[in-house]
Structure 1
Amino acid sequence: MTSLFCCGSIRPYRPQRLLHEDRFKAFMAWAEYPRDVPASSTDETEDTDKNRLTGASPPHVIQLVRQINYGPLESKRYFVPVEGKDNEFVELVEDDLIQANFKKLNSYKNFKCESHNRFFEVNVYEKDPVNQHHWRVNIARPSSSIDL
């Protein structure tokens, strides 16, 4: 079991209200210290149990990056909301995101712990997000193949 945050004194770093604010609030409410979650395993027998993205597609996935402030990364962990349960999340492995074609949105929140010199970044991933600004569904897909 590993704790998601180092302590209960993390504070928002340069806070802003974002489009996906409800998703961040739900995750942060669930992840409050002292939340212990089993660490991700690369053991193949456990990977099949952890693949929560097959079948029903969740609306989003949350990435939690933990690092020493201006230093090396300590962990990157991924969490998916449990269907039918408010403010419940389960941990995934990164390969599940790749297989299900989830992509990082440009929507994130940063948190900092002054006493432990830790920095946390919380990101949102969605399945096949649409880039509405450029009107292209997938940046790797040529615009000539999109019917307007």
Structure 2
Amino acid sequence: MSVLFCCEAIQPFRPKRLTHEDKFTSFMKWGNFPKASSTATTGGENDQESLDLAELEPPYAVQLVCQINYGPLESKRYFIPVEGKDEAFVEVSEEDLVKANFQKLNSYKNFRCEAHNKFFELNLYQKDPVNLHHWRANLARPAGSIDL
């Protein structure tokens, strides 16, 4: 078990209202200090404790990046919302998100703790996101394979 945030004094850094604001708000409400979490997927020998993201079908995932302000990265952790559990979010591994085909959205929030000189970044991931701004659904797909 490890604590998500260093203390209660974290503040938004250059806050903006986003389209996915409710997802960030629910994660921050759940993750208030002194919330601790352990990874739900263990892999290896204890596969019975492993979560199947295809079975759970989470609508999104949140990446929590912690680093020293203008310094080295301390951790990258991933969380999915789970209904019907006593917790609103469960920690999963990066491998689980890759297997479930989650991709990073261009939606993030930053937080800072001046007391501990820490910086926190929250990023959103979704399964098979479609960028409505661009005419191609997936930039990895070659333009020659698209019938117009």
TM over 0.5: yes
1:50/1:93 contact within 8 Å kept: no
**Cα 1:146–1:134 shift into 2, 3 Å:** same
C-alpha change, 1:47 and 1:18, in structure 2 (3 Å) is farther
After TM superposition, give the deviation of residue 87 of structure 1 in Å.
7.0
8 Å contact from structure 2 (residues 43, 50) kept in 1: no
Q: Residue 133 of structure 1: CA displacement?
A: 1.2
Corresponding residue number in structure 2 for 1:68: 68
Partner residue in 1 for 2:114: 114
State how far apart, in whole Å, the 1-side matches of 2:46 and 2:110 are.
30
Letter in 1 for 2:82: V
From the superposition, tell whether residues 5 and 47 of structure 1 become closer, same or farther in structure 2 (CA, over 3 Å). farther
State, as a whole percentage, how many aligned pairs show the same letter.
Answer: 60
Q: CA deviation at 1:138?
A: 1.1
1:105–1:22 Cα change, 3 Å: same
Provide the residue aligned with 1:125 in structure 2. Answer: 125
> Residues 31 and 41 of structure 1: is their aligned pair in 2 closer, same or farther, counting only changes over 3 Å?
same
Cα RMSD between the aligned structures? Answer: 2.1
Superposition TM-score, scaled by structure 1 size: 0.90
The residue type paired with residue 116 of structure 2 is H
Q: Which moved more, 1:74-83 or 1:131-140?
A: 131-140
Structure 1 residue aligned with 2:4: 4
Match of residue 36 from structure 1: 36
Q: Cα deviation per residue 1:15-53 (whole Å; 9 max; x = unaligned)?
A: 000010000000000000000112577652346633341
8 Å CA contact 2:15, 2:110 repeated in 1 = yes
Residue by residue over 1:60-80, the C-alpha shift from the partner in whole angstroms, topping out at 9 and shown as x without a partner, is 000000000011111000000
TM-score, with structure 2 as normaliser: 0.90
Question: After alignment, is 80-89 or 21-30 more displaced?
Answer: 80-89
Distance in 2 between residues matched to 1:51 and 1:87, nearest whole Å? 15
**How many residue pairs end up in the alignment?**
148
Q: Which residue of 2 aligns with 1:79?
A: 79
Unaligned 5+ segments in structure 1 are none
Q: Partner residue of 1:136?
A: 136
Residue 57 (structure 1) shift:
1.9
How has the CA–CA distance of structure 1 residues 19 and 34 changed in structure 2, closer, same or farther, with 3 Å as cutoff?
A: same
